[in-house]
């Protein structure tokens, strides 16, 4: 009889604990999708508020969105950005990484811009997705360890070919390497854009297009 009472008490305690746990999961903790929605709203609000305040050679909104969409569409998870500035394109790529579960490494030589980028990315709620590196990409990029499926090149233009060559052996089988400010109108004049395009078009396992919707030119070179 005593055993029966104890068992009943144990059972009621277990039931209460289980019910509490279910309630906590349903009410207490936000679901994954509501956390995602909250982050999306925070990033979008930051980008909307900041639209007119990018003053450090940052990409236009439209070009940032193009980078974001390429990453999400391909499900890329290991990204490198060369030329962080104050973090406009960083935010777009990091936002995409928050959706694919990836990580972005971004390199900037200018300390003020590097610090401002860190602040901007934190304000947008995306710090968990970005590793910031302060220094000269000429030295840092060839030493990056690992393999990468997405690259955005937006630092010193006369070094674009070298950045491409340094990262090409580390690209995954489905990777895309993107480069900013490569525009049709500049190619004819034999400038650095022409040299860069001619170079990437010699790579037999990759194909290059100039993104038709880019405002300031985005060359997209992807594995075939
Ligand atoms: C066009 S801006 C980048 C804009 C940035 N992607 C954005 O959308 O906000 C180019 C940046 O590359 C940086 N840069 C230039 N040469 C560099 C180098 N050798 N190593 C690292 N960063 C460099 C500049 O300081 C500048 O902030």
C-alpha of residue 28 to centroid of ligand 1, in Å = 43
Residue 30 confidence (pLDDT): 57
Residue 51 confidence (pLDDT): 85
Residue 55 confidence (pLDDT): 92
C-alpha of residue 90 to centroid of ligand 1, in Å = 11
| 205 Cβ contact list (under 8 Å, min separation 6) | 223, 224
Cα–Cα dist 216/181, whole Å:
5
CATH superfamily of the domain spanning 34-223: Vaccinia Virus protein VP39 (3.40.50.150)
Residue 150 confidence (pLDDT): 98
More confident of the two residues 175 and 184: 175
Give the burial class of 4: count Cβ atoms within 10 A of its Cβ; 0-12 exposed, 13-18 middle, 19 or more buried.
Answer: exposed
Give the burial class of 1: count Cβ atoms within 10 A of its Cβ; 0-12 exposed, 13-18 middle, 19 or more buried.
Answer: exposed
Asked if pLDDT for residue 1 goes beyond 50, the answer is: no
Which residue minimizes the CA distance to atom 7 of ligand 1?
58
Is 57 touching ligand 1 by the criterion CB < 6 Å? Answer: yes
C-alpha of residue 65 to centroid of ligand 1, in Å = 18
Provide the whole-model pTM.
Answer: 0.88
Pocket test for ligand 1, best of 57, 113, 218 (most atoms within 8 A of CB): 57
Take residue 28 and report the two structure tokens written for it.
């207490």
Band of pLDDT at residue 3, cut at 50, 70 and 90: very low
Domain range summary for the chain, segments of one domain joined by +: 2-30, 34-223
């Amino acid at each position: 009889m005593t055993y029966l009472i104890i068992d009943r008490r144990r059972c009621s305690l277990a039931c209460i604990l289980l019910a509490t746990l279910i309630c906590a999961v349903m009410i207490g903790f936000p679901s994954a999708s509501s956390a995602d929605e909250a982050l999306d709203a925070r990033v979008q609000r930051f980008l909307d508020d900041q639209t007119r305040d990018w003053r450090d050679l940052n990409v236009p909104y439209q070009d940032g969105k193009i980078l974001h969409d390429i990453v999400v569409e391909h499900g890329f998870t290991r990204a490198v950005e060369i030329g962080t500035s104050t973090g406009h394109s960083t935010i777009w790529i990091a936002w995409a990484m928050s959706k694919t579960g990836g990580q972005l490494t971004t390199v900037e030589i200018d300390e003020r811009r590097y610090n401002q980028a860190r602040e901007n990315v934190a304000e947008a709620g995306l710090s968990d997705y970005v590793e910031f590196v302060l220094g000269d990409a000429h030295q840092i990029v060839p030493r990056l360890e690992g393999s990468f499926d997405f690259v955005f090149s937006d630092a010193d233009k006369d070094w674009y070919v070298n950045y491409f060559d340094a990262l090409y052996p580390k690209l995954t089988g489905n990777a895309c390497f993107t480069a900013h400010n490569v525009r049709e109108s500049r190619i004819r004049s034999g400038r650095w854009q022409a040299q860069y395009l001619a170079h990437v078009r010699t790579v037999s396992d990759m194909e290059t297009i100039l993104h038709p919707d880019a405002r300031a030119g985005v060359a997209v070179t992807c594995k075939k």
